[in-house]
Amino acid sequence: MKDVLYAVFDRLSEDLSKVENKHNVGEASADAIPEHEIVADLDYDEKVKRNDQTGDVSGKIASLNDRFHQNQTTADDEIKGRWILGDDIEELPGPTKAAIKKKVQAYSGFEEFPLHDHGAFHYRSKDRILPVIWKIGVYQDDSLTKEADHPEDPAQSYRLLLLDLSDTPVKENAS
């Protein structure tokens, strides 16, 4: 299981790098993740036009992602998943780590990201500013071996949130 977690962490870290590039240099970058690749079978137009939380697939995914990143776990265990903290976050003092987690939970800057599956912000501590990035990956189950075919169905999906520090300053959305 540890090997699987390392492989998933590497995959999500690679996605975070692409998200980072999108935040830093915009759509024109070859390294920026194309919107249609973020979730299989949903193209950008469909996500943007139909992300109204009224029962469509992208709206359900966004709603589940919101509930997951806001609560980490839910009281009814409807949404299965866990958070993984990158080494840079793990090495921070406990109060700083807790404050960053709270800021992820309160994050709302999804103007460009209709699935609400990633974000970036700066955490300001007493002595420094930390560029924070996070991304949610959705898998079939907790084995993390296959991406979910139905990320809109909490019974058929397992969410994994990777939280880490960016190597470069990130362009923030309002949060």
Reading the chain (175 residues) residue by residue, the pLDDT tens digits are: 556 656 666 666 666 555 545 444 444 444 544 443 444 444 545 544 444 444 588 889 999 999 999 985 555 578 999 999 999 999 999 999 999 999 999 999 988 888 999 999 999 988 889 999 999 999 999 999 999 999 999 999 999 999 999 987 666 554 4
Q: So where are the chain's domains?
A: 2-165
Is the whole model's pTM more than 0.85, yes or no?
no
**DSSP code per residue over 97-166:** HHHHHHHHHH----TT-TT--EEEEEEE-SS-EEEEEEEEEEESSTT--SB-S-TT-GGG-EEEEEEEE-
